[in-house]
Amino acid sequence: MVLSIAVPMTLGFLTTPLLGLTDTAVVGRTGDAAALAGLAIGAVLFDLIFSSVSFLRASTTALVAQALGRGDRHEQQAVFWRALVLSIGLGLIILAASPWLLSLGLRMMGPEGTTAAATATYFSIRILAGPLTLTNFTILGFVLGLGRGTTGLLLQTILNGTNIVLSIYLGLVLGWGVAGVAWGTLIGEGMAAAVGLALIIPRFDQKDGPTVAEIFDRAKLSALFAINRDLMIRTFTLLAAFTLLTRIGTSFGAVVLAANAVLMNFFMIASFYLDGMANAAEQIVGRAIGARFREGFDRAIRLTALWSLGLALVSCLFFLIFGNAIIDFMTTAADVRVIAATYLPWAAVTALTGALAFQMDGVYIGATWSREMRNMMLLAFAGYGLSLALFVPLFGNHGLWLSLNLFLAMRGLLLLARLPARVHQSFTESH
């Protein structure tokens, strides 16, 4: 069961960087450096906006999995419609606010002239997909909540596959450049949403369907908003941690900053399968919580921990052995290669220090213990800040990487330390 969810979702996540590489290559082939820079800035702005509302996927997965565990088909449908209404509503708000978001983004990132124009072109087209993007978060959350990992993979493949094909066709063949890449993304989101809804809604049994009053039930909506609020704070804190990492890295000069950017790819690669395992933990833990099945809950934690730590150990060893060859493949700059090789062990070990954090995130999301998750994240971030203040002045970039690994480890260990009391409380309350 763990692998039936984790493996398809890991494969699905792997299509995302392939999409980024394709978009970059399409615009790069035009030979317009300003357009390529504009695309890069636009992509960063979208990552900031939409990763901050990715909690919609996680909360939907958890609540659907718990309803599945209780055998409550009525609530499964109600969760879906509630989350869909919230997604479309937030998407429309983002769309309405897009002129201000673009203006703020341009001021924050500071592009000028044709680069700023390219960013504005990309942003203005792609933002039209806002409601569709959030709808796809809800659809993916729903199918994962039911444990349908292969359906999740299918939807991710349609989303990114359509995007890749159309980006090449519109951007290169028709010569639309940045605008073609943006239209490819918009159409890809629309295709994925249409297929997802076509796969979900016809399967609903009308006798289990919720009324409009039940969908907008104040208590249920309040609970959904509370979970999403906590997950949003947790997500913003995580974004702040990585922004701080980059900001401090800039103080060490362009070569060190470039080396750090290359090395962060090692953590990104590990995050694909760790996220897949977290998805499995969310679904199985959520189902066990819904069914009040303590044995299944404990087994879900043991199995996802075993797989996460085992895979993390394998990837850590792989990166230590083959890391220099990977660095040489990613950059031809000799000075960047030398610096990256110096800090390679720190990057390789992030898989191990982050494994428990990813797995515990999945457990806490599945159990909808969002408040504890938020609080432990804020505590870990405070520890991260102290670590940066202490170790960066002492050890420079080594101190920066040490602090990142401590932050990852603190997240996992703090959640693990809180786990026994929270589990006892939940399963005692059920009786």
What does the pLDDT look like over 185-229, one tens digit per residue?
A: 999 999 999 999 999 999 998 888 899 999 998 888 888 889 999
Rounded mean pLDDT, 24-45: 79
Q: How far apart are CA 133 and CA 22, in angstroms?
A: 19
pLDDT at 50: 84
pLDDT above 70: percentage of residues in the chain: 98
Per the prediction, the chain carries an average pLDDT of 90
Residue type present at position 36: L
* Among 4, 1, 224, 37, CA closest to 118: 37
pLDDT above 90: percentage of residues in the chain: 61
pLDDT of 430 > 80? The answer is no
* Among 138, 150, 129, 130, CA closest to 197: 138
Q: How far apart are CA 256 and CA 73, in angstroms?
A: 54
* Among 57, 201, 59, 181, CA closest to 129: 181
pLDDT of 431 > 50? The answer is no
Structure tokens belonging to residue 378: 């804020």
Rounded mean pLDDT, 110-122: 85
| HEC-encoded secondary structure of 22-91 | HHHHHHHCCCCHHHHHHHHHHHHHHHHHHHCCCHHHHHHHHHHHHHHHHCCHHHHHHHHHHHHHHHHHHH
Q: How far apart are CA 15 and CA 367, in angstroms?
A: 28
Rounded mean pLDDT, 159-170: 91
pLDDT at 384: 97
Taking residue 198's Cβ as centre, other Cβ atoms within 10 Å add up to 10
Q: How far apart are CA 303 and CA 334, in angstroms?
A: 43
pLDDT at 25: 79
Rounded mean pLDDT, 25-32: 77
pLDDT tens figures, 344-354: 999 999 999 99
pLDDT of 175 > 70? The answer is yes
pLDDT of 303 > 50? The answer is yes
Alpha-carbon separation of residue 12 from 1, 187, 249, 376 (angstroms):
17, 18, 31, 29
| Position 372 confidence tier, pLDDT thresholds 50, 70, 90 | very high
* Among 8, 43, 1, CA closest to 26: 43
pLDDT at 29: 76
pLDDT tens figures, 304-346: 999 999 999 999 999 999 999 988 887 787 888 899 999 999 9
